Amino acid sequence: MPARLAPALTRPLLLAGVAVTFCAVAAGLAPLAGPGDQPPAPWHVAGLPQQTKPFSRFSVVGLDGERVLRVEADNSYGVLVHPLPGGSSAHVLHWRWRVDEPNAAIDLRRKEGDDSMVKVCAFFDEPLTAVPFVERQLLRLARGVSTEPLPAATVCYLWDNRLPPGTQLHNAFTHRVRFVVLRGPESGLHRWQAEQRDIVADYMRLFGDETDTVPALVGIGVGADADNTHGHSVAHVADLVLE
């Protein structure tokens, strides 16, 4: 059963799609794919507060002779979350991914197009003192009514269908979530692509306007959504490793 997050003030404050539980799990990541049809704990699905729309679906399937994560969004929202203890020294994230059914309506520059076919995100516990005043006050209010801690800074890597690789931009709803486009149509469909990112360096590049100190990494997420475009997409992710 997906975890519905406690009510918050607005969707924008939870656009990362998660409230990351600060629990003591291993410093690395549990594998995305195990013997069952769902990712093993502590991976779990999180959604928006009081979510009534469908949750994006995350399942373990066989593909090309291996067990991988299938990510499907169908007029839905959801993020598969792996919490991490504060103070993790890991900073390099590796994974493979592919898009099999794209959502042509996505346009990250517009609120009505703000969806993703697949994204891999890193959640940072940025101190409130580094957050601009208005967003800080909104985040404080949201945390006050949430039963889960809410990360103040999220870096998401996207496979997009419109913007060129290397594009960096803020989420259309909130500056608490910032994107890096890694892949686009030029990478094709049904083809695995490998990624390696220094998430600390990317955090400083994207949030360096707010702080010169890297906060604790408190979680990793894999997500997809199609609730703004009312569309559909299917992607796969494998070999997600944090070191």
Count of positions (residues) in the chain: 243
Distance CA 49, CA 144 (A): 14
Task: Please indicate, yes or no, if residue 3 is contained in any of the structural domains.
Answer: no
Record the tokens describing residue 113, joined without a space: 């197009």
Instruction: Give residue 147's pLDDT.
Output: 52
pLDDT at 127: 76
Residue 36 DSSP one-character state: S
Total domains present in the chain:
1
In a domain, 129, yes or no: yes
- pLDDT at residue 18 in the model: 46
Residue 123 in tokens: 């959640």
Q: Say how far apart CA 37 and CA 51 lie, in whole Å.
A: 24
Q: For tokens 């990712």, name the residue.
A: 39
Output Rg (C-alpha) for the chain, integer angstroms.
Answer: 16
Specify if 208 maps to a domain. Answer: yes
In a domain, 101, yes or no: yes
Per the domain annotation, does 1 fall within a domain?
no
Which pLDDT tens digit goes with each residue over 95-123?
A: 999 999 999 999 999 999 999 999 999 99
Q: Residue 17: its pLDDT value, please?
A: 40
Range of the domain at 71: 12-242
Mean pLDDT by 10 residues, the chain (243 residues): 42 46 56 95 86 95 98 97 81 98 98 98 85 79 65 94 96 92 97 98 95 91 98 99 95
Question: Nearest CA to 155 among 16, 12, 14?
Answer: 16
Q: Is residue 29 in a domain?
A: yes
N- to C-terminal Cα distance for the chain? 29
Local structure of 138: helix, strand or coil: helix
Question: Using alpha carbons only, what angle is made at residue 113 by residues 108 and 227, rounded to the nearest 5 degrees?
Answer: 120
SS3 106: coil
User: Is residue 6 assigned to a domain?
Assistant: no
Q: What is the pLDDT of residue 27?
A: 54
- Does residue 183 lie within any of the structural domains? yes
